[in-house]
Chain A
């Protein structure tokens, strides 16, 4: 099996890599590009730990075949601190509120939640608690019971709205 050459944009930078057609985008990001922020929690789209943005839409990288990334614009958690006008020396408001709000314990689900929360706030800057919970229903967390995650997203939404 020969590997395909894929070119795309990842976290704002022109990027390319090789992958077999059947390789998932998740494995390509982790193994070819060294972007290990996205995690495999299940490999079947049921846990959201591998969430990335593809052309601005949140999706499970484990369900995307690497060649589908050709020409696409991808964002992983590693790109969050240069999104929304934040410079790389500072954290994105979501990252900051997650830390201040203790919204992570083991941290393995955190990258997926940060990406999914960013997608939510991009489309809905003033979500209700219920809208946040449904938007993040695709991200499983076993440590926190979600409470502090939801509160941190609410706080980040306030900060992002007041910054614009």
Chain B
């Protein structure tokens, strides 16, 4: 196995194309445990962290651009970003301990393809886009379209995510991500719920509801969104949100939670995230 640390996107693209079996990585927080548990070694480990573009964050022209390999600790400590997208920031912040946070990245968290990835639901709720580099140049697709199943991506051979784009939200918009883990830290989410709402006074005028860890990929819940839109997030509307979220959950039984538990808690967390997002929207 070899190691390479390209300093440009082109260099990285060439390395990936020229070395079958090679793999890009950022923080290695998933790569290392996978290699230790028997996953075959890549032919070349391509370290993306020396490419400035993949490690930076910028806000201009009405949108944010975040490098795919940038440590999430830099995202969460970016006060401006965290005040505009508290839900994405807290999702990214839940990926792991401080040690993990200094290595984990939005790109890694997405491209590991785990249904339980903590940063993904809120990214989808804010309609984030992934800029992908490959042999044919670059293309941009919604983050929601990157993961197609557990550990499966829609990326072609030789492609990797370079950066993320998130448009500034409309005024009076707030987002939130709440997850359920048995301990207060260090766990993979059993259920995750991200909600983004736009409020006009007490009335919700737009909503996105996205669940994590309860289906093969993160899932949007249109019925929950419909229940929020036009409502004042009263008890009846929230009950509908919860019911819709539970109905949209299609989880498995595994060592972290039962189907029953995930379905029930999906509803609880969707409700709580909606309330929190609305508070933030009104603030």
Chain A interfacial positions (CB closer than 8 Å to B): 1, 4, 20-22, 24, 43-46, 48, 51, 54, 57-60, 62-65, 67-68, 70, 116, 119-120, 134-135, 137-139
Contact = CB atoms under 8 A, between A and B. Distances in A.
Given A137-B186, A138-B186, A59 B1 contact: no
Please classify the interface of chain A as helix (H, G, I), strand (E, B), loop, or mixed, using the class held by over half of its residues.
mixed
Interface of B: 1-3, 5, 27-29, 32-33, 35-36, 41, 45, 47, 49, 71, 73, 96-100, 102-103, 184-186
Given A21-B1, A63-B32, A138 B73 contact: no
A45 B100 contact: yes
The 10 closest A-B pairs by CB, nearest first: A138-B97, A21-B3, A137-B185, A57-B102, A44-B33, A67-B3, A138-B99, A60-B99, A59-B102, A22-B1
B186 A46 contact: yes
Q: Looking at A24, A63, A139, which has the most chain B CB atoms within 10 Å of its CB? A: A63
Contacts of A62: 32
B222 to A, nearest CB: 35
Contacts of A20: 1
B40 to A, nearest CB: 12
A70 B185 contact: no
B71 to A, nearest CB: 8
A1 B29 CA distance: 24
A64 B102 contact: no
B7 to A, nearest CB: 12
Contacts of A51: 99
B5 A44 contact: no
Nearest to A48: B99
